[in-house]
């Protein structure tokens, strides 16, 4: 049974370029202008290998209406302008959909840190959440 070398190397987490480099340079020594053998050129390859496949998640079901619901707007990073954007969203809801209650919160700590108290509050009180995370 003949196996595709590229597929085999991929399964082992090795770049096919590594094999191509080693077979093309095998047995060949470069000579310098003076005729002496030069040191072989070494190519480094990332040891990370092939990344795992991305796991996809389904989107949340669409809401039929926001009437009478509570939406939290959360500033997660204090990125320039994020608080202003969220406050403008609150003003829009107050003017255009007054039955929708909006609650503004700032997440404690930096973006990567957990904020269990805020997550529990959102889970207990909110129908939906809009989070400003910057960039």
DSSP alpha helices (H): ranges in 13-70? Answer: 16-25
Q: Which 8-state DSSP code applies to residue 71?
A: E
Q: How far is the C-alpha of 124 from the C-alpha of 128, rounded, in Å?
A: 11
pLDDT digits (tens, 9 = 90+) for 119-130: 999 999 999 999
DSSP alpha helices (H): ranges in 52-115? Answer: 82-96
Q: 72-99 burial, b for 16+ CB within 10 Å, e for fewer?
A: bbbbbbeeeebeeebeebbeebeeebee
pTM of the predicted structure, to 2 decimals: 0.56
Share of the chain above pLDDT 70, in %: 73
pLDDT digits (tens, 9 = 90+) for 59-103: 888 888 999 999 999 998 878 888 999 999 999 999 999 999 999
What is the structure's pLDDT at 98? 96
- For the segment 42-69, the average pLDDT, to the nearest whole number, is 85
| Sheet of strand 70-75, all strands in order from the earlier edge strand to the far edge | 101-106, 70-75, 128-132
Q: How far is the C-alpha of 31 from the C-alpha of 96, rounded, in Å?
A: 78
pLDDT exceeds cutoff 60 at 26: no
DSSP alpha helices (H): ranges in 26-111? Answer: 82-96
Yes or no: say if 69 and 129 are a contact pair by the CB < 8 Å rule.
Answer: no
């Amino acid at each position: 049974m003949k196996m595709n070398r590229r597929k085999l190397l991929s399964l082992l987490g090795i770049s096919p370029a590594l094999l191509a480099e080693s077979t093309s340079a095998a047995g060949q020594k470069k000579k310098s202008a003076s005729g002496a053998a030069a040191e072989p050129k070494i190519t480094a390859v990332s040891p990370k290998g092939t990344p795992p496949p991305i796991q996809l998640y389904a989107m949340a079901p669409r809401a039929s209406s926001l009437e009478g619901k509570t939406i939290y707007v959360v500033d997660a990073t204090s990125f320039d302008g994020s608080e202003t954007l969220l406050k403008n969203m609150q003003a829009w809801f107050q003017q255009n959909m007054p039955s929708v209650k909006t609650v503004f919160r700032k997440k404690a700590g930096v973006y990567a840190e957990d904020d269990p108290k805020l997550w529990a509050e959102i889970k207990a009180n909110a129908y939906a959440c809009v989070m400003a995370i910057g960039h």
